[in-house]
Amino acid sequence: MRKYGLKVINLFIVFLMVFSSLVLPVSAKEAETLGDLRIAYENLVAKKQANDNKTQAAKNEIARKEAAITQAEKDIHAAEHDQEVAQEKIDKSNVKISELTDEAEKILLYLQQVEGQNAYVEYVSGASSITDLISRVEAVKQVTGYIQDTMNNLEKEIDNNEKLKIDLEKKQKKLSQQIVTYQGVIAAQYSNIDSYDKYALSIDEELEIAKQNYDYYKKVCKENLGKTNDSVKLEDCSKVPTNSGWLKPLTSGVTTSTVGTRWGSFHNAMDIGGNPEGTKIYAAAAGQVSGIVYRSSCGGNRVYIKVTVGGKKYTTYYYHLLKINVKVGDIVTQSTVIGTVGGGRSTSSKYGGYDSCTTGAHLHYGVATGWHNGHVGSRSLVMAPPPGFPNKTGYRFTSRTDFYRP
């Protein structure tokens, strides 16, 4: 009994370890030194290479399965044609059998009639010689035998063609099942290429942000400290301002979408509408720009800012910007206009149609715990709602200091 209890406890511990690894993703280590930024950049370079290899392998598998589907469709078409040919042969054979049956019936009827009149006997006995007699007897046999043999052969041909039709039908069914299987493989490979989180940055975008950060800190560390070795602390090179509270990123607006599951995926921010494109966007808290993404396929132009509020570290992020006014490394205050509201033109073919995750002008605004250079990567880090907002749609505000009170 005791052993059984220990097994249960051990299984429970294993379950907790597995479960926690699935539902509680670990955030990447926050960069504290120049060496951390260098290692993060090099790791992304390696990750990109591995991802490119996997992506290429997935594309190759897709190409193979698409070729297999094309061939299977051709084989199905060929089988359908062969079925038609087999049916035509069956129809012709049936007509021939019918004609031969009629001829055989006529010959048999004739023989019955002539036998009654001794014509057959006279025909045979009228032979001028033994050889002629044998020839006449064989001639009668050959006529009836030919008809019988031909009918037998035609019946065999019909049986073979019927079997061929059945085999072709089985082949078509098997090929159709193969196509369904191949289509499933293709769908799985596409899911390997595409991220489940549509707001996730591509590796290329992450790599660009990492390079921007490393280049920036290497420059300012050289300028301010005269050092660029790995052990140099980032906070010694560039100070991030602190905040006692939050302001709203817009002077007015209305919440149109909340943080949480939406349309089958996780929406990691608060959508704020009610403003035309070009409306000024301010930093909700003073801090340092840690990431810039231009023309992302989902989110368009993005800005990430690391901030400290009430002694705690956060990252604010702003998506669907029409224009970006800052660059990585910039120190911003709560009065800094970091960009302008977009989201409308980014879906228009006239302007390139690069952003698939917006249907009109609005700001996608979110706050994550901790400092990050780009996409937060885990929904457990996202604050729902951002400070100063209720997590509901239809909430209107008319000033940056118009804080929500529950």
CATH number, domain at 326?
2.70.70.10
pLDDT score, position 1? 41
Please check whether residues 250 and 379 belong to one and the same domain.
yes
Please check whether residues 72 and 157 belong to one and the same domain.
yes
Please check whether residues 153 and 256 belong to one and the same domain.
no
Residue 300: which domain range? 240-397
Classify residue 173: in a domain, yes or no: yes
Q: Which of 388, 364, 366, 389 is nearest to 376 (CA)?
A: 366
Please check whether residues 251 and 373 belong to one and the same domain.
yes
Is residue 132 within 8 A of residue 124, CB to CB? The reply is no
pLDDT score, position 310? 92
Please check whether residues 275 and 367 belong to one and the same domain.
yes
pLDDT score, position 231? 94
Per-residue pLDDT of the chain (406 residues; tens, 9 = 90+): 444 444 433 433 333 333 333 333 333 457 789 999 999 889 989 988 887 887 788 778 878 888 888 887 888 888 788 888 878 877 887 887 777 777 766 666 665 555 554 445 555 555 555 565 555 556 666 666 777 777 787 788 778 878 877 887 888 888 788 888 877 777 766 665 554 467 778 888 889 999 999 999 999 999 999 999 999 999 899 889 999 999 999 999 999 999 887 766 788 899 999 999 999 999 999 999 999 999 998 899 999 999 999 999 999 999 999 999 999 999 999 999 999 999 998 888 788 888 988 989 999 999 999 999 887 767 788 988 899 999 889 999 999 998 765 4
Residue 159 CB coordination number (10 Å) = 12
Q: How many domains does the chain have?
A: 2
Chain-centre distance of CA 187, in angstroms?
6
- Residue labelled with tokens 């089958």: 264
Classify residue 4: in a domain, yes or no: no
Whole-model pTM? 0.62
pLDDT score, position 4? 40
Classify residue 59: in a domain, yes or no: no
Please check whether residues 125 and 258 belong to one and the same domain.
no
pLDDT score, position 42? 92
Please check whether residues 249 and 148 belong to one and the same domain.
no
C-alpha–C-alpha distance, residues 7 and 10, integer Å: 5
pLDDT score, position 27? 38
Residue 234 CB coordination number (10 Å) = 22
Classify residue 389: in a domain, yes or no: yes
Is residue 339 within 8 A of residue 303, CB to CB? The reply is yes
Chain-centre distance of CA 176, in angstroms?
22
pLDDT score, position 186? 72
pLDDT score, position 20? 34
C-alpha–C-alpha distance, residues 215 and 190, integer Å: 34
Classify residue 295: in a domain, yes or no: yes
Is residue 288 within 8 A of residue 235, CB to CB? The reply is no
Please check whether residues 244 and 390 belong to one and the same domain.
yes
Classify residue 354: in a domain, yes or no: yes
Task: Phi first, then psi: give them for residue 231, nearest 5 degrees.
Answer: -80, -5
Please check whether residues 130 and 256 belong to one and the same domain.
no
Please check whether residues 189 and 245 belong to one and the same domain.
no
pLDDT score, position 308? 96
Please check whether residues 283 and 161 belong to one and the same domain.
no
Classify residue 393: in a domain, yes or no: yes
Classify residue 158: in a domain, yes or no: yes
